[in-house]
Amino acid sequence: MNDLTHDDHSVSIRAEQHVLGALLVDNDALDRISDLDGAHFFRNDHRLIFDEIRRQVVAGHRCDPMTLMSTLQGKVENCLQYLGKLRASAVSAVNIRRHAEIIIDKAAKRALHALSIEMGELAASTAPANVCVDQVASKLEALAQTRAAQEPERLSEMMTDYADLLEQRMAGAVRPVRTGHEPLDEQLDGGLERGTLTVVAARPGMGKTAFGLGVARNVAVDGAAMFYSMEMSRMQVMDRNVSAIGRIPLAWLRKPGDSQASNSDDQVYWSGITHAFQKAQEMNLVIDAQPGLNTIEIRAKARKTKRQLGALDLIVIDQLSFITGGQSEKSYEVVGEHTRALVALAKELDCAVVLLCQLNRECEKRPNKRPIMADLALSGSIEQDAANIIFLYRDEVYNDDSPDKGICEVNCEKLRQGRPGVVGLQYIGAQTRFEDPSTPWYPQRAIPGGASPRATGFGAGRRAGVMA
């Protein structure tokens, strides 16, 4: 058995033997194949040998056939003889990286083959089709999450690339994705950073969808944006877009010509619809209203959109609780799978990803109902993966006598590259849209964590800091 060297489309014994032999020649070569794992090997004895080599090297010991034999004797057939053959067959460890890639590729193909068998078993089972699809999709997604090997670099070597980046920033070739709201962009130090995940969270009725859709429209004027609506239908999304762009009451759009509006108002609204149609032609905004997507489907659709448009600056997903799939049975682990996949997507497509998220009911139990980080459902994974966490709060929802009627507090609670703070945006609910306030805004009520409000306005929260 030890001399088996056959190769085929899903197995490369030669590559496995070369890697093991190369490691016995040069233990330090293990550093060049950090993404290789014992589970990638086809032969069980090769898995045992690799795991033991790695254990000894990580422990700081020099590893050779004799040191391995003391542990593997009785587990590997003809142990010392085979280890000696492996070492003698490898001249050097020069090509170890390439052979490790072959082993990983073959392991992925074996996993695909096993999944194809499982798909057949699922298809013949009594489980609902959507459950079967989710299980298969989550496993495919795990296979797609491959890590590219990247060697560490000295700071001095990285300075050349950084100088190039600074030049591109000065020339405007590399810039953040602007939300279209001046106070918020200033708070974010210019806008949403590419390659990052931003979570926008609020209780129902605060304007999450209107906010996310509005930012997507703003970006789509000069750039390209994609909006996933897994909660609303295509026509419901269009109602909101036409209402916001044409500045037409949403209620009128649902019953045009059959409302209390006067004839003159009707004429204004029809003109607004014409304006909305014209503006839509100028926007690079793609809307996907398919419900129940998993992250691998989100990724595939986004990649296709970027190929078709030539660029993609922003992805908005409405919302986290409607994303399906996930391998774990524990909901908080599934959330972590989703957020990690979206961070990977943002980096892969070099765009900003905004994920809308609903808060739990805990804030409803407090006198001050402004959201705090603990209100995020399963906040551990979200806090860890999101570069920015933004809470939306409209005081008038809870307080009829609120001095901040028409204002939505946009609380940048976590900014990985900036300083937390609160800005105010005008919310026009009848038209489901946000706009910058005409005058600087300052909160009238205390916010969580302090007895006095944070002074904010057009970025004032970032300039003044937190005054608790």
Token reading at 33:
């194949």
7-8 and 11-12: which strand pairing?
A: antiparallel
Span 371-386, mean pLDDT?
83
Q: Is the pLDDT of residue 456 over 80?
A: no
Do 279 and 245 meet the contact criterion of CB atoms below 8 Å apart? yes
Residues with Cβ within 8 Å of residue 329, at least 6 apart in sequence: none
pLDDT tens per residue across span 58-110 = 888 899 999 999 889 889 888 999 999 999 888 788 889 999 999 999 998 99
Question: When comparing pLDDT for 259 and 218, which is higher?
Answer: 218
Distance CA 433, CA 410 (A): 14
pLDDT at 332: 79
Token reading at 127:
């489980």
Token reading at 366:
């407090």
SS3 245: helix
Q: What's the one-letter identity of residue 101?
A: E
pLDDT tens per residue across span 290-310 = 998 888 889 889 988 998 999
Distance CA 149, CA 97 (A): 9
Distance CA 1, CA 383 (A): 50
pLDDT tens per residue across span 13-47 = 999 999 999 999 999 889 888 889 899 999 999 99
Residue corresponding to tokens 């490898």 = 90
Query: How confident is the prediction for the chain on average, in pLDDT?
Result: 85
Residue 306, class by beta-carbon neighbours within 10 Å (0-12 exposed, 13-18 middle, 19+ buried)? Answer: buried
Token reading at 52:
């033991």
CB atoms within 10 A of CB 190: 15
pLDDT at 135: 76
